[in-house]
């Protein structure tokens, strides 16, 4: 008996998960549509561009053409509101010899000479004169089809490969994946195979440490030796990405602003004042100035406090292990407080409607050491050691595609003249596989 698949499946955690059958079906239909669009697009480009161009280069017969007239091909886009702007392309009336005898026809429009300026198109015709003899190629299957230039349009071929190719690869891989998963249990689908990485390269999740599934790889943490202690910890700096983002936005916005202002200025010098353009430029300039101010403020905040470095005595970290830290804080001025904290965060990624949301929660945190009223001198850096112990029954670091358990060291500072800052140095804590005793009161 065939039963209609349910829309809703089981309840897992805080959510009800959707029906696997419908999800697979929707996934398959979506990727099949992508695949079909890619095929149609490829077929259109192939029949409209690639095949005619290939025939011209391989099937057309050479001949000698005598120019008997010149003209322009006019291309006008017809819109619901009427005729749109026209473009012009020169072409030549030629007489030439074919296997069936002499023929006379207009040549196909000359590539690379398309212009929306009719006078320029007319001027370009001046390079040909009636009576000139030029090489040409005609179609033996249709002797009235003649061209005066051959070769390939590189951009068209690139577009033909990239756009339909991307749709065909994405759609095809998704379709194979959906077919491969159809009717299979989630455990069977989750088993890694040789094909799974190829069919779903974006869903591979974070890299894991060898021999420790679920524990994130820590190659980046052990490849940088410290100056005093064994390793220098990498800093996690979301502020840097914000700064880069603001910088790129400010630069690109103001480049557009300059182009607009140059255009308006040239019009003004030519005696024309486009008030609409000026009215548009004023708020545009306001946003540009605000972007520069915001970027400068972020840059000042990032550089005024000075760099923070942490070195650690040993890696990898294990529960119950004690480690020495070296904190180095650069910059100048007074810090009201500076604190080192060991923290354990949980992070969950989930979808709400069409949004992907990330929730992060610090579930345990312990002060390692703190300092007050620190006077930082330019050219030197404040250095201090501290001892840190990972709780004996602590959870190890964990990373899967949507869930994280993450250890880190936070440096929290409060300068007298600037806003407080937090700098995070991620850690990877491995499970202590030798430990067999039960514990209480851990993070």
Partner 1 sequence: MTSLSESHHGPPRVFVTFSNTDRRYEPLDSLVARYEVDGLGDEMPRAVEHSVLWYTEGKGEEDLGVLFFERVTDTERLPPAVPGESFGCTLPASPLSYEGVIVKIRWCVRVRFFFSGGRDFVSEHEFTVGTVPPARMPHAVPL
By CB under 8 A, name the binding residues for partner 1.
1-3, 10, 12-14, 17, 185-188, 190-191, 205, 211-215, 341, 343-344, 346-351, 359, 361-365, 393-396, 398, 400-405, 412, 414, 420, 422, 430-431, 433, 435-443
Kindly tell me which of 50 and 392 has the beta carbon lying closer to partner 1: 392
**Whole-number minimum distance, CB 108 to partner 1, in Å?**
56
Kindly tell me which of 75 and 357 has the beta carbon lying closer to partner 1: 357
Question: Rounded to an integer, what distance in angstroms lies between the CA atom of residue 96 and that of residue 136?
Answer: 8
Kindly tell me which of 15 and 120 has the beta carbon lying closer to partner 1: 15
Kindly tell me which of 134 and 395 has the beta carbon lying closer to partner 1: 395
Kindly tell me which of 188 and 297 has the beta carbon lying closer to partner 1: 188
**Whole-number minimum distance, CB 422 to partner 1, in Å?**
8
| Beta bridge partner(s), residue 385 | 326
**Whole-number minimum distance, CB 348 to partner 1, in Å?**
3
Of the candidates 179, 196, 185, 201, the residue with the CA atom closest to the CA atom of residue 27: 179
3-class SS shares of the chain: helix, strand, coil, % to 5: 35, 35, 30
Kindly tell me which of 332 and 347 has the beta carbon lying closer to partner 1: 347
**Whole-number minimum distance, CB 190 to partner 1, in Å?**
5
Name the token pair of 442: 């851990």
Name the token pair of 230: 């064994």
Helix (H) or strand (E) holding 56: helix 51-58
- Determine how β-strand 212-216 pairs with β-strand 208-209: antiparallel
Question: Rounded to an integer, what distance in angstroms lies between the CA atom of residue 330 and that of residue 264?
Answer: 47
Kindly tell me which of 130 and 358 has the beta carbon lying closer to partner 1: 358
| Beta bridge partner(s), residue 209 | 212
**Whole-number minimum distance, CB 214 to partner 1, in Å?**
4
**Whole-number minimum distance, CB 188 to partner 1, in Å?**
6
**Residues 160, 45: contact at Cβ < 8 Å?**
yes
| Neighbouring residues of 409: CB distance < 8 A, sequence distance ≥ 6 | 233, 310, 325, 340, 341, 342, 343, 368, 388, 424, 425, 427
**Whole-number minimum distance, CB 374 to partner 1, in Å?**
16
**Residues 365, 388: contact at Cβ < 8 Å?**
no
């Amino acid at each position: 008996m065939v039963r209609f698949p349910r829309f809703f499946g089981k309840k897992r955690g805080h959510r009800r998960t959707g029906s696997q059958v419908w999800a697979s079906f929707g996934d398959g239909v979506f990727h099949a549509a992508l695949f079909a669009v890619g095929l149609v697009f490829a077929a259109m480009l192939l029949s409209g561009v690639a095949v005619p161009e290939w025939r011209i280069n391989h099937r057309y017969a050479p001949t000698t053409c005598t120019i008997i007239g010149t003209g322009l091909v006019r291309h006008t886009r017809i819109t619901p509101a009427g005729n749109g702007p026209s473009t012009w392309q020169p072409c030549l009336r030629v007489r030439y010899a074919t296997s069936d005898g002499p023929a006379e026809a207009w040549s196909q429009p000359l590539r690379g000479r398309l212009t929306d300026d009719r006078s320029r198109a007319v001027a370009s015709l001046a390079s040909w004169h009636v009576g000139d003899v030029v090489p040409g190629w005609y179609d033996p299957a249709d002797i009235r089809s003649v061209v005066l230039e051959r070769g390939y349009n590189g951009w068209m071929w690139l577009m033909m490969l990239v756009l339909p190719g991307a749709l065909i690869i994405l759609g095809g891989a998704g379709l194979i994946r959906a077919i491969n998963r159809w009717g299979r249990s989630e455990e069977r689908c989750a088993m890694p195979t040789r094909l799974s990485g190829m069919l779903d390269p974006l869903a591979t999740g974070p890299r894991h440490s060898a021999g420790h599934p679920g524990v994130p790889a820590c190659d980046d943490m052990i490849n940088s030796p410290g100056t005093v202690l064994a390793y220098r910890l990498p800093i996690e700096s979301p502020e840097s990405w914000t700064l880069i983002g603001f910088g790129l936005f400010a630069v690109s916005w103001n480049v557009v602003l300059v182009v607009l202002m140059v255009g308006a200025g040239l019009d003004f010098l030519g005696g024309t004042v486009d008030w609409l353009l000026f009215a548009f430029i004023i708020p545009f300039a306001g946003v540009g100035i605000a972007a520069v101010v915001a970027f400068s403020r972020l840059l000042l905040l990032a550089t005024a406090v000075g760099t923070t470095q942490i070195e650690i005595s040993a890696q990898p970290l294990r529960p119950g292990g004690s480690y020495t830290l070296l904190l180095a804080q650069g910059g100048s001025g007074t810090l009201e407080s500076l604190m080192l904290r060991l923290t354990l965060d949980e992070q969950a990624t989930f979808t709400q409607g069409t949004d992907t949301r990330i929730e992060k929660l610090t579930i345990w945190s312990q002060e390692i050491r703190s300092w007050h009223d620190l006077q930082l001198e330019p050219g030197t850096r404040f250095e201090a050691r501290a001892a840190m112990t990972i709780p004996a029954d602590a959870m190890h670091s964990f990373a899967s595609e949507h869930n994280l358990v993450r250890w880190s060291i936070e440096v929290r500072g409060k300068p007298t003249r600037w806003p407080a800052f937090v700098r995070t140095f991620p850690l990877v804590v491995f499970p202590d596989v030798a430990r067999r005793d039960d514990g209480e009161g851990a993070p």
